[in-house]
Structure 1
């Protein structure tokens, strides 16, 4: 009986310590308000993809849809995540949180047909990159992913999905920090792809009118 009680106590302590480790990791790089908003962003992402935002279900849901993301690239994400709702959500995020993650990258053409628009790209914020690198200590792939963030890039759009699919042990998708990075990556991709459609439609419309002349 005594041994069982000791075992339960040890299990409880280890669970509490694990929770504190994740929490402390976030607090090392973000303010309390920023952490709250990062969770709101990640919950939104999960609800759009999985139909619910119960955090205990995040890993299970992602593992289930990873093959679909890997196979169809951004198409699957674009179909599942309502872009208007995503834009409305990001409008409510504080400037502090937004700048920790993103910047606006200008896309344009000086030739006919001319167009200009801004899409999300990573800001290269040092704190966010350090946060991803810390996660990389236990989710090895993210250490490499941080290198692309360091130069303001997104890397291959399917890097994360492909990596989890081929090397499941390289990313602990049950870790809340990893979930936040996962959500941010694919919401960024969704913004780029949806806004890219605008340029494509402009070019398509221009070529159609040009052909009618």
Structure 2
């Protein structure tokens, strides 16, 4: 009798754990990307987590909360500035070109007043990643607004996903949700690239 009770208890625990792992929707990701591309997206998220939590041995949610956002913003150095750009460029080499192209593209930017043309990372507003954002926006209004902004401008704005909103609006920013983790990873890595890339624009 005791063995039967233990067995039932064990099955119940497994079911609960399975339920916890599957509480976040993977439909939008699976509907838009191949298995290889999903693996690449995980590499992007994992890299971002590692860089963000460089000196913290904790989970993504805890790391993000423990970052002194207010102090860093006041000094003009938001946390993503500390992401190692050389390592980030190595990350690009570790993912397939098809995955990169579904998220990003390069645009020509011009500095003033000298008029020098440089290469800048932009959003691919017609790629699979944009479609993923739009689909996820069907269940998350804040993501829908973000997707609309990228579609309109073709760019990632530093004003989106301000740390205070991410921390405050828990209903739409569940930091345990792999979808939100991916979106924040791509957003902040994009800002870091735009800030640090110094390549000259060359016509292909």
TM-score, structure 2 as length reference: 0.78
Q: Which residue of 1 aligns with 2:20?
A: 15
Shift of 1:157: 3.5
Change in Cα spacing, 1:101 to 1:74, as seen in structure 2 (3 Å) is farther
Contact 2:101 2:127 in 1 (8 A): no
**Greater per-residue helix proportion:** 1
Q: Does structure 1 residue 140 correspond to structure 2 residue 141?
A: yes
Give the paired residue count.
194
Aligned-partner Cα distance in 2 for 1:121–1:33:
23
Aligned-pair CA distance for 1:31: 1.0
Give, in angstroms, the shift of residue 93 of structure 1. 2.5
User: C-alpha distance in 1, partners of 2:159/2:71?
Assistant: 10
Which consecutive residues of structure 2, in runs of 5 or more, have no partner in the other structure?
Answer: none
Cα 1:7–1:75 shift into 2, 3 Å: same
In 2, Cα distance between the equivalents of 1:130 and 1:105?
A: 20
Structure 1 gap segments, 5+ residues each? 200-213
User: Do the aligned residues in 2 keep the contact of 1:69 with 1:161 (CA within 8 Å)?
Assistant: no
> Counterpart of 1:61?
63
Contact 2:69 2:79 in 1 (8 A): no
Q: Does the aligned pair in 2 maintain the 1:70–1:161 contact within 8 Å?
A: no
Q: CA RMSD in A?
A: 3.2
The answer on whether the counterparts of 1:163 and 1:170 sit within 8 Å (CA) in structure 2 is no
Q: Contact 1:104 / 1:118 at 8 angstroms: preserved in 2?
A: yes
1:127 Cα offset (Å):
2.5
Question: Relative to 1, partners in 2 of residues 1:89 and 1:6: Cα closer, same or farther, differing over 3 Å?
Answer: closer
